[in-house]
Amino acid sequence: MSNHVYPSKPTFPRDATKKDYAASLDAADPLAAFRDKFIVPSKANINCRKLAKPDLSSEPCIYFCGNSLGIQPKATAKFIQAQLDTWSSIGVSGHFVDLEGSPLRQWQLLSEQAAESMCKIVGAEPAEVAAMGTLTANLHLLLASFYRPTATKYKILMDWKAFPSDHYAIESHIAWHGLDPNQSMVLIGPDESEYEISTEKILSYIDQHADDATLILLPGIQYYTGQLFDIPKITEYAHSRNLTVGWDLAHAFGNVELKLNEWDVDFAVWCTYKYGNSGPGTMAGLFVHEKHGHVDYSEGEDAPKFRHRLTGWYGGDRSVRFKMDNKFKPIPGAGGFQISNPSAIDLTALCAALSVFDETSMAELRKKSVLLTAYLEYLLLEGTAEESRPFRIITPSNPEARGAQLSLLLKPGFLQNVSQKLQEAGVVCDKREPGVVRVAPTPLYNTFTEVWTFVQQFRAALEV
């Protein structure tokens, strides 16, 4: 049985369509002060084509694009400057010296600093999380360890509309083993004319392919529809049918509550620049359950036994790392999957963003997010009949099956014009062909008044 505890769906009074009501929600918001920890781009800046300093005196835009790239925390500049000062003042010693007054640890411990913050976001032990690489690179590394096909069990189950990088990664690993992706990739899709994939359908695919599948990889949240899958239930059932379970948490990290250790997930990967706000393309994260990270020294210190993986110098224990004797002694846990000396600049930006999360909890963020997204949905649908709307919300209405994002599927011919009008009005969200506008009010820095204003702008854009 699933042990995932989800919030109930909020309800709203008749006057919820008024701006004053939105303002009252903001006044009562216990997380309201977090908005001031971020630099919200101004309307003037987002349409500027010349490099310029943020215009903090101008009206801020409505930034509902945290599902693609989060905005910059104010802490980032402070942390980056500390990093540059460390490098310029003590050079190589930055690897080994903790400087008084710095928000950062010595460089060789910086990935651990990030992991200690990230583990709270994904519900894991610190040793189960590593900050390294990029999402797809990490996925490749973990597939090299966890996808071990045999003559009888070789298929991988995955989402029908997986993000292209996941699709490419799976396809390449299957081909690497000399198998045919057309025979070994099983795509799980929704029923015809639908977008949501029911948990029951996923479980039925697991049953259908239990004898010849070895692994299932799904997104925690589907990037196109915004659907949140029932991670604990699917993981438990897949394990009961002898499948290894991995999750791509790109759109779930920093968005919804996760309990990867408790749910017994085998492995997971995520980027940190969406709801994590670490900056474009910065350091990603991975999770390896503690049961897969054990290092066995029963046959002696020089003969450790551990789960096979693609190894690198930085995955070796620091106590012997500089012996340079080519005897790999892996760090127990996810750290042993590290490959190279990680970019300290990237880690600095990540640690800056994570310092904001350290001041709250995913439970508190999720509580606000459920209310914020429900309010958006309520205003979008209120006062209009379904048949008269030129759009359809394809994200599940149930809070337990979605995060912060609502995907609005527009009728043919609307997408380009609506996107342009929103941009001109100072609204930042993104589009996905052929007709989806993805809208993601983020609890760390977005407000209920912004939701109210967005709906007015969206309706105006539909009428043009």
Instruction: Kindly report the three-state secondary structure assignment for every residue of 135-166.
Output: HHHHHHHHHHHHCCCCCCCCEEEEECCCCHHH
Asked whether the predicted pLDDT for residue 4 surpasses 60, the reply is: no
Interval 280-299 mean pLDDT: 96
Show which of 311, 338, 355 is a domain's final residue: 355
Tell whether 95 is covered by a domain.
no
Whether the Cβ atoms of residue 258 and residue 231 lie closer than 8 Å to each other: yes
Tell whether 275 is covered by a domain.
yes
Q: Is 341 annotated as a binding residue?
A: yes
**pLDDT reported for residue 464:** 64
Torsions phi, psi of 422, nearest 5? -65, -45
Residues 161 and 237 in one domain: yes
Domain ranges, residue 378? 19-60+361-462
The string of pLDDT tens digits covering residues 147-170 is: 999 999 999 999 998 889 999 999
Asked whether the predicted pLDDT for residue 5 surpasses 80, the reply is: no
The two beta strands, 62-63 and 427-428, are parallel
Residues 323 and 397 in one domain: no
Average pLDDT, rounded, for the chain: 94
Tell whether 68 is covered by a domain.
no
CA 276 to chain centre: 7
Tell whether 86 is covered by a domain.
no
Whether the Cβ atoms of residue 155 and residue 184 lie closer than 8 Å to each other: yes
210 HSE (CA, 13 A, CB side): 12
Residues 409 and 295 in one domain: no
Torsions phi, psi of 238, nearest 5? -60, -40
Residues 315 and 424 in one domain: no
CATH number at residue 392: 3.90.1150.10
Show which of 304, 330, 355 is a domain's final residue: 355
Asked whether the predicted pLDDT for residue 325 surpasses 90, the reply is: no
The one-letter code for the residue type at 4 is H
Residue identified by tokens 């043919």 is 412
Residues 351 and 365 in one domain: no
Q: Is 4 annotated as a binding residue?
A: no
Tell whether 396 is covered by a domain.
yes
Comparing 393 with 57, which gets the higher pLDDT? 393
Residues 350 and 382 in one domain: no
Q: Is 25 annotated as a binding residue?
A: no
**pLDDT reported for residue 384:** 84
Residues 202 and 264 in one domain: yes
Show which of 306, 329, 355 is a domain's final residue: 355
Residues 227 and 321 in one domain: yes
Q: Is 135 annotated as a binding residue?
A: yes
- Count of structural domains within the chain: 2
Residue 340 pLDDT level (bands cut at 50, 70, 90) = very high
The string of pLDDT tens digits covering residues 401-431 is: 999 999 999 999 999 999 999 999 999 999 8
Q: Is 313 annotated as a binding residue?
A: yes
Residues 185 and 284 in one domain: yes
The string of pLDDT tens digits covering residues 431-443 is: 888 899 999 999 9
Peptide bond just before 441 cis, omega within 30 deg: no
Residues 214 and 278 in one domain: yes
The string of pLDDT tens digits covering residues 170-216 is: 999 999 999 999 999 999 999 877 899 999 999 999 999 999 999 99
Work out the burial of residue 350: count CB atoms within 10 Å of its CB; fewer than 13 is exposed, 13-18 middle, 19 or more buried. buried
Interval 354-383 mean pLDDT: 97
Whether the Cβ atoms of residue 104 and residue 348 lie closer than 8 Å to each other: yes
CATH number at residue 294: 3.40.640.10
Residue 2 pLDDT level (bands cut at 50, 70, 90) = very low
Interval 48-68 mean pLDDT: 90
Tell whether 434 is covered by a domain.
yes
Residue 6 pLDDT level (bands cut at 50, 70, 90) = very low
Percent of the chain beyond pLDDT 90? Answer: 87
Residue 120 pLDDT level (bands cut at 50, 70, 90) = very high
Q: Is 273 annotated as a binding residue?
A: yes
Residues 218 and 338 in one domain: yes
Q: Is 134 annotated as a binding residue?
A: no
| Start-to-end CA span in the chain (Å) | 49
Q: Is 378 annotated as a binding residue?
A: no
Residues 365 and 319 in one domain: no
Whether the Cβ atoms of residue 32 and residue 450 lie closer than 8 Å to each other: no
Task: From 192, 194, 248, 253, select the one nearest 225 (Cα to Cα).
Answer: 194
Q: For residue 358, what are the contacts with CB-CB under 8 A and spacing of at least 6?
A: 117, 120
Give the pair of three-digit tokens for residue 31.
Answer: 């997380």
Q: Is 168 annotated as a binding residue?
A: no
Look up the pTM and report it: 0.95
Taking the C-alpha atoms of residue 123 and residue 270, their distance in angstroms, rounded to an integer, is: 13
CA 57 to chain centre: 32
Tell whether 77 is covered by a domain.
no
Taking the C-alpha atoms of residue 157 and residue 186, their distance in angstroms, rounded to an integer, is: 5
Complete DSSP assignment for 12-67: --GGGGSHHHHHHHHHT-TTGGGGGGEEPPBHHHHT--S-----TTSPBPEE-BTT
Q: Is 242 left (phi over 0), alpha (psi -120 to 50) or beta?
A: left
Whether the Cβ atoms of residue 428 and residue 46 lie closer than 8 Å to each other: yes
The string of pLDDT tens digits covering residues 371-408 is: 999 999 999 999 888 888 999 999 999 999 999 999 99
Tell whether 371 is covered by a domain.
yes
E strand or H helix at 455: helix 448-463
Work out the burial of residue 255: count CB atoms within 10 Å of its CB; fewer than 13 is exposed, 13-18 middle, 19 or more buried. buried
Q: Is 272 annotated as a binding residue?
A: no
The string of pLDDT tens digits covering residues 213-238 is: 999 999 999 999 999 999 999 999 99
Q: Is 163 annotated as a binding residue?
A: yes
Residue identified by tokens 């760390």 is 444
Percent of the chain beyond pLDDT 70? Answer: 98
